[in-house]
A and B are shown apart, each in its own frame.
Chain A
Amino acid sequence: DIQMTQSPSSLSASVGDRVTITCRASQSISSYLNWYQQKPGKAPKLLIYLASSLQSGVPSTFSGSGSGTDFTLTITSLQPEDFATYYCQQSFSTPLTFGGGTKVEIK
């Protein structure tokens, strides 16, 4: 199985801050990396697919980068509605696996 490791596991930030979340795969997954946002009591929502492609309807304040084993999700200006937990997920091979999540909290 491909292990996905996210860091940090949590962070505190203020509205307007730039936030970066890192995801590392245990082996190369090319660009087969997706990012999701999950709010309490809700299903995850797809933000970014194929490492850097923005899903329709997702604000351009979200961006993704990386390839191989190292990836980042960046929120350029944190908005109140962005406080949530973020997960990376590899789509390179089955079993499909997720990172452990990064909780973004209000400072």
Chain B
Amino acid sequence: QVQLQESGPGLVKPSQTLSLTCTVSGGSINSSSYYWSWIRQPAGKGLEWIGRIYTSGSTNYNPSLKSRVTISVDTSKNQFSLKLSSVTAADTAVYYCSRGLGTVNFDFWGQGTLVTVSS
């Protein structure tokens, strides 16, 4: 069974860049059938889709974050990554990575990682 695991700094200073990596195990990330997403959830609030990447390199981003987001994939390491620039306190959230297939957008999820933006 596929498993996803987020990793990266838990604390980022305002105006800096948040960087997270999702490592996929139990299956190859390099399948044309799947795509790989990032979703976030501020404490006590709902879920917000950040964006996704196909292993072809094609991406879709949420317009609300598009100017600050970059998602990339490293098939040799079975990983994909998120960079979110110019962060503020409003970017403090639990960040999840997830796998999608067709219209089943999020069938497997990582456990989530809390990122706090604070000086």
Sorting the interface of chain B by its residue count into under 10, 10 to 19, 20 to 34 or 35 or more gives 20 to 34
Central interface residue in B37, B60, B61, B103, by most chain A CB within 10 Å: B103
B78 within 8 A of A: no
Which of B48, B64, B103, B104 is the one whose CB lies under 8 Å from A98? B48
Q: Is the interface of A mostly helix, strand, loop or mixed?
A: loop
Q: Which residues of the other chain, A, contact B47 by a CB distance below 8 angstroms?
A: 44, 87, 89, 98, 101
Which of B63, B104, B112 is the one whose CB lies under 8 Å from A49? B104
Determine if B107 and A46 form an interchain contact, defined as CB atoms under 8 angstroms apart.
yes
A residues with a Cβ closer than 8 A to B are: 1, 32, 34, 36, 42-46, 49-50, 55, 87, 89, 91-92, 94-101
10 A-B pairs in the complex with CB atoms less than 8 angstroms apart: A1-B63, A34-B106, A43-B110, A46-B106, A87-B46, A91-B105, A92-B103, A95-B61, A95-B63, A97-B49
